Amino acid sequence: MNIDKIRKDFPLLSQNINGKDLIYLDSAATTQKPRVVVDAIAQYYSEYNSNIHRGVHSLSQKATNEFENAREVVQQFIGAEHPHEIIFTSGTTGSINLVAATWGRQNISAGDEVLISAMEHHSNIVPWQLICDEKGAHLKTIPMNEMGELELRGLDSLLSHKTKIVALSHISNSLGTINPIRKVIKQAHNNGALVLIDGAQSVAHTPIDVVDLGADFFAFSGHKLFGPTGIGVLYGKESVLNDMPPYKGGGNMIKSVTFEKTIYNDLPHKFEAGTPNIVGGIGLSSAIEYVKDIGFDFITDQETKLKTAATEMLKSIPGVRIFGEADQKASVISFNLEGLHPFDVGTILDQLGIAVRTGHHCTQPVMDFFQIPGTVRVSFSFYNNMEDIAALKRGLMKAKSMLSV
C-alpha cells in the first residue's frame, strides 16, 4: 500500500509545528484520526443528533440504529460471540474500574488474592488496590526481568485457590513487550481464576479473538484505535456479566423502577446507565472499518519495519539506552540519552516539530525497577514512515549537542 496516500487520510499529519513538518511519534498515547472518522462524527451532529433507545421519532431511530450497529462492528472485530457482551465505557480505565467495582466487590473477600504484573499501567493497578484495601485482599505481582519480559517460570507458585482474578496488559505501553497472554489465561483458568486483559495497546496492532483467547474480560479504548476519545469497550463473557451487579444507576439500565424495588435491564444496557457517548460509538465503528480496510497484514509489516529501523538507529547513537528489549515486542521504544533528562530531550524535539512522550508513562513501578525517573518514548503506527525515523535521529543529535555539558 502507498504510505503517502495513507498519510493523506489523516488531516492532522499535514500540519506544521513550530514552523516544522509534524513528525508524530506518540501513537501509544493516542492515535490520529482518519478523515472518515472525523466525517462520521460531523455527520452525526449535523444530520441526526438525537438521544437513543427512548425516542420513536426518525432522528432517534437513526441514532439508535447507528449506535447499536457500532456494537455489532466491535463484536465482530474482536471475535465476541454476542453483541450484548460488548459494553461501551469511557475507555480502558473505565472498563477496568467497572470490573473491579462490580465483579470484584461481589467476588473478592478477605484473604483472597488479585494477580497483576510488574509492568501494568496505573489504570490496571489502582482499581485493584482499591478493592483489595476495601476487602482485605492481597495484590500480588508477576515480576519482570531486565529485558522487560515477565518471569513466568514462577507463575504456578503465584497462582492458588486464593487467586480470584489475573489482570494483565497484552502489550506494555512503556516497554512495548508483548506478553504471552494465552499461557497466562490457561494457567489462571486451571487454578479457577478469571482473567482480564488490558488490550489498550494491542487492539490497533494485532487481530484479537476473545473467544479463541479465552479471556473472561477484554478492555480497550477507542482513541488508541483511530477513534474518538471518551469511548471504550469492555468485553465480558455473557455468563460472567449476567452475574455481576450494575456499576451505575440511572436511565436505560433498568426495566422498572418503584420506590420499593428496581429491576435491572438485560445486557448490555445493565452497565450503560444514562446517555452514552453516542457519537463516540459511531466514530469508533468508522475507525474499525478503516482498520479492516487497511488490514492487519499491512499494519504488522509496516510497524515491524519501523520498529526495527528505529531500534537500529537509536543503538547507533552513543549514550542511548533502550529500556525493554523483549524478543516479542510491539512498535514502542523507550530510551534515554546518557546525562540528559527525558523532559529536556522531549522539549528540544518538540521545537523541531517531533512529538514524543516523556515521563513515567503511567507506569511508575516500571521506572522504579530500572531506577530512572522516566524515559523518552517513541511509538509508531502504520502512518509513520522512514523519513520520520531520520528526522528523529537528527532531532536527537541536535538535543545532544545543545544539552550535553
Residues with catalytic roles: 362
Residue 22: left (phi > 0), alpha (psi -120 to 50), or beta? beta
Could you tell me the CA-to-CA distances from 297 to 40, 206, 207, 226, 300 in Å, in that order? 26, 9, 9, 17, 5
Q: Which of 332, 339, 334, 352 is nearest to 396 (CA)?
A: 352
Q: Which of 149, 108, 151, 153 is nearest to 127 (CA)?
A: 108
Phi, psi dihedrals of residue 352, rounded to the nearest 5°: -100, 10
- In 342-403, beta strands by DSSP E: 354-355, 357-359, 375-379
Burial 290-319 (b: 16+ CB within 10 A, else e): bbeebeeeebbebbebbbeebbebbeeeee
Q: How far apart are CA 180 and CA 11, in angstroms?
A: 36
**24 strand-pairing partners:** 355
Residue 393 has a CB neighbour count (10 Å cut-off) of 14
CA-based torsion, 178, 180, 182, 185: positive or negative: negative
Q: How far apart are CA 133 and CA 111, in angstroms?
A: 11
Is the CB of residue 329 less than 8 Å from the CB of residue 177? yes
Which set of grid coordinates corresponds to residue 345?
530531550
Cα-trace Rg, the chain: 22
